[in-house]
């Protein structure tokens, strides 16, 4: 019984992988996720509101939650709010669903939990895998998500890639460099993906901290109970 209890306690402390990570035939690059890095999260938040929030919403998130990543209400209003919302408002898309359907053929999804749905590695690879394709309505395609309706909104930073096919092998090649080097663009996208991971569970850091304290307390109580049990039965025998 004691061995079973110890095994269960250890099992509870083992972190499980993302069971909801999207499957893909394309090898996924490892996303540089660190939701304790407030500087990265702040950069990602600015990128999100500047380049994503126009079409996509984050309707489960309020602007004032960004105090958790080190921004004051004044900084939130200055850096993240541009269309007159209040600091306590939800982060809603500026685009109406009808407009999205007309322009892209599909309503752009809400991104509140996209990192939990798709997985951080998938998002990180996807945002770096756009290439020019004249056969699509937007002029863009994606190596990870074929025939995606979304155009490459960050192309000015990454540049323009093209698909190279050699037999059964497919790869991407940079044709026209953007405003950033490849390393800088990877970091730029990494910050955005890091923010999307935070967006999916803003309480994650507090939950992990509380969970650690609870597990330490339970281990302490287990050890104390075991010692008391040994002492109790020793007196009986």
69-119 pLDDT per residue, tens: 999 999 999 999 988 889 999 999 888 888 888 888 888 999 999 999 999
CB atoms within 10 A of CB 85: 15
Q: Answer whether 0.75 is exceeded by the pTM.
A: yes
The 8-class DSSP code of residue 151 comes to -
Q: How does DSSP classify residue 176?
A: E
Q: What number of other Cβ atoms are within 10 A of residue 107's Cβ?
A: 17
Residue 228 has pLDDT above 60, yes or no: yes
DSSP-assigned states of every residue in 153-174: TTHHHHEEEEEEEETTEEEEEE
Span between the terminal Cα atoms of the chain, in Å: 21
Q: Does the pLDDT at position 207 exceed 60?
A: yes
pLDDT band at 17 (very low <50, low <70, confident <90, very high): very low
């Amino acid at each position: 019984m004691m061995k079973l209890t110890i095994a269960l306690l250890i099992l509870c402390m083992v972190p499980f992988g993302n069971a909801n990570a999207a499957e893909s035939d394309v090898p996924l690059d490892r996303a540089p996720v660190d939701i304790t890095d407030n500087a990265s999260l702040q950069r990602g938040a600015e990128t999100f509101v500047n380049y994503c929030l126009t079409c996509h919403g984050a309707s489960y998130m309020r602007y004032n939650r960004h105090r958790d990543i080190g921004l004051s209400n004044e900084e939130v209003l200055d850096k993240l709010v541009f269309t007159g919302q209040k600091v306590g408002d939800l982060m809603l898309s500026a685009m109406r669903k009808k407009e999205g359907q007309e322009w892209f053929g599909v309503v752009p999804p809400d991104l509140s939990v996209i990192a939990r749905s798709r997985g951080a590695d998938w998002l990180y690879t996807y945002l770096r895998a756009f290439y020019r394709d004249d056969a699509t309505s937007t002029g863009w395609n994606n190596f990870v998500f074929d025939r995606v309706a979304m155009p490459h909104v960050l192309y000015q930073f990454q540049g323009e890639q093209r698909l190279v096919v050699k037999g059964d092998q497919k790869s991407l090649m940079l044709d026209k460099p953007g405003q950033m080097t490849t390393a800088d663009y990877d970091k730029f996208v990494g910050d955005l993906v890091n923010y999307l991971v935070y967006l999916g569970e803003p309480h994650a850091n507090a939950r992990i901290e509380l969970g650690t304290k609870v597990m330490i307390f339970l281990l302490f109580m287990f050890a104390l109970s075991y010692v008391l049990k040994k002492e109790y039965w020793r007196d009986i025998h």
